[in-house]
Amino acid sequence: MGDETVPEAFDANGPVQAEASPVAPAETNALVWQSLALDLLRQAGAEYSDLAKRLQVRWNPRMRSTAGMAYPARALITLNPRLIVFGNAEVDRTLRHELAHLLAHYRAGRRKIAPHGQEWKIACHDLGLRDESRCHSLPLPQRKMNRPHGYRCPGCGLTIRRTRPMRKKAACLACCRTHAGGRYDERFRFVKAILPILIFIALLQ
């Protein structure tokens, strides 16, 4: 018998196995996660660093689609409270991911590094993360971007949308490559376009 699975219950059709238990909510006290982050820095050999002295971990209720954020200049990690329902394991992974950003920047000093470059990958390894991806795959709410500003290329008619108006001259890359050898050409400078939704609103007024 030893390794046989014992059913939790029986019904008219035979044994019934218990369903997997739901994930228990994660620890909500930010100081607990901050303490874990300090332990991780100690394991990575940075327990006496300026980073460890200044490190802060906070929940940020304003976050929606982002799991966490790291602010190297402030030695600050902010976590999305929506992670709580996914359990301690997801909060732990996000914490290590963001802490790796802080550690990578601390080690690099004033040298500029890529957000998810080799320095970050090494820091992830030192903090116990293996094959960490750049972005999470959690079902968090997706942020809807409002892009009210439209611009059209006079050459090919390509229309682009932006959240903010253009402050500098910009031209259609495809047309500049095709007709101007890749150089900026005023003929293909984006011009302000009236987007369909704006036309619809104007008709209603």
| pLDDT tens, position by position, 50-103 | 999 999 999 999 988 889 999 999 999 999 998 998 899 999 999 999 999 999
Q: Among residues 59, 70, 62, which one has the least CA distance to residue 97?
A: 70
**Percentage of the chain modeled with pLDDT above 90:** 55
* Tens-place pLDDT, residues 188-202: 999 988 766 544 444
Confidence (pLDDT) at 8: 41
Q: Which of 98-102, 137-141, 176-180 has the lowest mean pLDDT?
A: 137-141
Model pLDDT, residue 131: 83
Q: What is the pairing mode between strands 68-71 and 76-79?
A: antiparallel
What is the DSSP secondary-structure string of 141-196? PPPPPP--EEEE-TTT--EEEESS---S--B-HHHHHHHSTTS--GGGB-EEE--H
Q: Where in the chain is the domain with CATH 3.30.2010.10?
A: 30-126
| 156 has pLDDT over 80 | yes
User: Quick one: pLDDT at residue 43?
Assistant: 94
The contacts of residue 16 (CB under 8 Å, 6+ apart) are 7, 8, 9, 10
Q: Where does the pLDDT of residue 141 fall: very low under 50, low under 70, confident under 90, or very high at 90 and above?
A: low
CATH architecture of 30-126: 2-Layer Sandwich (3.30)
pLDDT, position 193: 86
**Residue in 97, 123, 94 with CA at minimum distance from that of residue 108:** 123
Q: In what order do the strands lie in the sheet with 56-59?
A: 56-59, 76-79, 68-71
Q: What is the pLDDT of residue 198?
A: 46
Backbone angles phi, psi at 34, to 5 degrees: -65, -40
Strand order in the sheet with 159-162: 159-162, 149-152, 191-193
pLDDT digits (tens, 9 = 90+) for 91-120: 999 999 999 999 999 999 999 999 899 999
Q: Give me the pLDDT at residue 132, please.
A: 82
